[in-house]
Chains A and B, each alone.
Chain A
Amino acid sequence: MKIGLACPYTWDVPGGVQAHVRDLAESLLEAGHEVSVITPVDDESALPPYAVDAGRAVPVPYNGSVARLLMGPVSAARVRRWLREHDFDVLHAHEPTAPSISLLACMLADGPLVATFHTSNPRSRMLTAAQVALQPSFEKLRARIAVSEAARRTLVEHLGTGAILIPNGVAVRAFEGARPLPGYGGSGDGNGDSATGAGAGAPTVVFLGRIDEPRKGLDVLMAAFPMLVERVPDARLLVAGPGDTAAVRARIDRSLVDRVDLIGLVPEADKPAVFASGSVYCAPNTGQESFGIVLLEAMAAGTPVMASDIDAFRRVLDDGRAGRLFGVGEPAELAAGLADLLRDPAERARLVERGRSVVMSYDWRVVTQRIVSVYEMVSGDRPVSVAATDES
């Protein structure tokens, strides 16, 4: 199939939507489809061969953060040319609620159009106010996809339309068979030589996330750690993520300080190794997350998960069958759960096994297949064209 993807935000600025579009595009290419992405970009040399430059985007405050949006005659001309040159079987716009290249593509195109909605909690007044302006473009969408239940609810409540649910994908292959960082033992789940207790491996709990963002819950884990050490005397803690490491270190009890490794921000490529370095991955988040992608990444790396009992995590962990849940913000419960897991290799192996089968349904290869089946259901009668009435 010939597929056109429209990405609303600047390609070379890190962000969830951009990562989603990139992974989807590459996964579609791998499955043998023809793909072209149109996206704003700051530095054109950052674009992969399958992407087309829509111009520089203007930073605009949107939905609590700075989005880089793009709409204007130059971009409109580029979108029209892109549509004419490619003759797509289907056009897939991402997050077309923002005034962006995605919305522009919906306005200018006619034919089999699909959109994916990522945002779960936009400023409702803004979206409701924009509804009248968005309606004519949204009427063309033959399929609407939401990446989470929260994103779907936002659509239903503010735009009065339904959507199907297809979750974000996880690049399982990048995490499979990950090796621990030097000096760590890993989860002992069958990586053979890295079994817990053999060689370097002391039982290790891993945390990954911003260390000074209270919603990520590092404080809960830090409060649980002394209680954990009482039960598992050789337990260690590996904390990865950006933030003020000195401030975190200053709050650790002096007798425990050499059992906690604060390694700061890790590059994306090292994430699998960080997960693989732990006997257990702990996600003590206290705020609502819309989707537990980091849990899936840990499970893909073969590390059992202990997470706080919030909706998104409960869903991903299959109600606690694919990972342990503990009461949100309850250090004592967390410490007891971690101690149980660290002392029970059989239980860990069982969770890893469960985790793997859960993860497979979120693998980009599987998610892409589901998206392609949506493409197939809405396309086929005619290719995407430039709308005849777009000048009105």
Chain B
Amino acid sequence: MTVVVAVVVLVVMTATYLTWLASRLDRLASRVDAARSGLVVQLLARAEAAQTLARRYELSELATAAESARAGHTALLADAARPSVAARSSDAARSSDAAPQPADAAPSAGAGLDSAAEDAENALSRALRSSAVVAVGRETPEAVAALDAAAARVALARQFHNDAVGDVRSLAGRRIVRVLHLAGRRPLPAYFEIDDALPVRGDGPPHPEGEAAVFGT
């Protein structure tokens, strides 16, 4: 009798623990989704601010870079808006003895934040630091203020995104999670690595948002 009780208690405890792990993974997946949508929104804002500046000061190199960065975002936004089915499928079913759920066919939100997007954003970052843009910033600091603010927010959003990705990867990398497929078939989210250092404006005191340059991990 006591053996039966002990076994039952053990099974219940194990099931509770695994359910808890699975719910943490679900919560992390939705945090990554939210962070990724946030990042896409900020990238789009930066590209648009760059376009505005390029148009106003006829900076053709910047215009090209901004356009190609922006072109990717329409698709990204559509992706990000689609709720990730994986994140919503949280229920206790995925406990110890349940088979891993057939994962949703839909790609995870914002899957388009790939290396092509990174290249386009890097090109935009470089264009933002080009001598033509720096010259505009030196002559009319207020003209680049909105752009600098948008660039600083990109750096923030990217940090939030990459921290979320790091948390997922750390939990999903645990042996018990891998062996029991607690994360379902969700692909591991990828870090988004771009050079988002802000341009230096003049020799005055740092821009209030200027520390963004050291945000990267």
Residues of A at the B interface (CB closer than 8 Å) are 110, 135-136, 138-144, 149, 156, 160-167, 318, 321-322, 354, 357-358, 360-361, 366, 370, 373-374, 377-378, 381, 389, 392
Measured in the bound complex, the distance between the Cα atoms of B217 and A160 in whole Å is 10
| Chain B interface residues (CB < 8 Å from chain A) | 16, 20, 23-24, 27-28, 31, 34-35, 38, 42, 153, 155-157, 159-160, 162-164, 166-167, 170-171, 203-211, 214-217
Shortest distance between the CB of B171 and any CB in chain A (Å) = 7
A161 touches B153 (CB 8 A): no
Closest approach, in angstroms, between the C-beta of B89 and any C-beta of chain A?
16
The secondary structure that dominates the B interface is: helix
Pairwise interchain contact B208-A162, C-beta atoms closer than 8 A: no
A140 touches B27 (CB 8 A): yes
Say yes or no: B156 contacts A162, CB within 8 Å: no
A377 / chain B contacts, CB cutoff of 8 Å: 38, 42, 153, 156-157, 160
- Report B134 CB to chain A, min CB distance, Å: 20
Of the A-B pairs whose beta carbons lie under 8 Å apart in the complex, a sample of 7, sorted by A's number, is A136-B24, A140-B31, A162-B159, A164-B159, A357-B204, A361-B206, A377-B156
Partner of B35, one of A142, A164, A166, A318: A142
Instruction: Give the CA-CA distance A318 to B211 in the complex, in Å.
Output: 13
Q: Which residues of A contact B216 (CB under 8 A)?
A: 162
Q: Looking at the assembled complex, report how far the CB atom of B209 sits from the nearest CB atom of chain A, in whole angstroms.
A: 7
Instruction: Choose among B24, B156, B209, B217 the residue that contacts A139 (Cβ–Cβ < 8 A).
Output: B24
CB-based contact A378/B160 at 8 Å: yes
Residues in A neighbouring B31, C-beta threshold 8 A = 139-140, 142
A161 touches B208 (CB 8 A): no
Contacts of B155 in A (CB 8 A): 164
Can you name the residue of chain B whose Cβ is closest to the Cβ of A388?
B23
A272 to B207 alpha-carbon distance, docked (Å) = 26
Residue pair B156, A142 in contact (C-beta under 8 Å): no
Main SS class of interface, A: mixed
Q: How far is the CA of A283 from the CA of B167 in the complex (A)?
A: 41
CB distance from B69 to the nearest CB of A (A): 19
| Number of A-B residue pairs at CB separation under 8 A | 82
A142→B35 CA distance, assembly (Å): 8
State the CA gap A361–B209 with chains docked (Å): 9
Q: How far is the CA of A15 from the CA of B210 in the complex (A)?
A: 28
- Establish whether residues B153 and A373, one from each chain, have CB atoms under 8 Å apart when the complex forms: yes
List A contacts of B28 (CB < 8 A).
139
Residues of A within 8 A of B209 (CB): 370
Contact (Cβ within 8 A) A144 B163: yes
Closest Cβ neighbor of B208 among chain A residues: A361
Which of A110, A370, A381 is close to B208, meaning CB atoms less than 8 Å apart?
A: A370
A139, A156, A321, A370 — most chain B CB neighbours (10 Å)? A139
Which residue of the partner chain A has the closest CB to B156? A164
Please tell me which one of the listed residues B166, B203, B206, B207 contacts residue A161 in the complex, with CB atoms under 8 A apart. Answer: B166
Whether B27 and A164, one on each chain, are in contact in the complex, defined by CB atoms closer than 8 angstroms, is no
User: Least Cβ distance of B21 to chain A in Å?
Assistant: 10
A164 pairs with B215, CB closer than 8 A: yes
**Besides A140-B31, A163-B159, A377-B156, 18 other CB < 8 A contacts?**
A135-B170, A138-B167, A139-B31, A141-B163, A149-B214, A161-B163, A161-B167, A162-B163, A162-B216, A164-B156, A165-B215, A166-B211, A318-B206, A357-B204, A358-B205, A373-B156, A377-B160, A392-B20
Known: A139-B28, A143-B160, A165-B211. A357 touches B167 (CB 8 A): no
Q: How far is the CA of A280 from the CA of B157 in the complex (A)?
A: 41
CB-based contact A139/B171 at 8 Å: yes
Do A139 and B27 form a contact, CB below 8 Å, given A160-B170, A161-B167, A318-B205?
yes
CA A140 – CA B167 in complex, angstroms? 9
Q: How far is the CA of A167 from the CA of B206 in the complex (A)?
A: 13
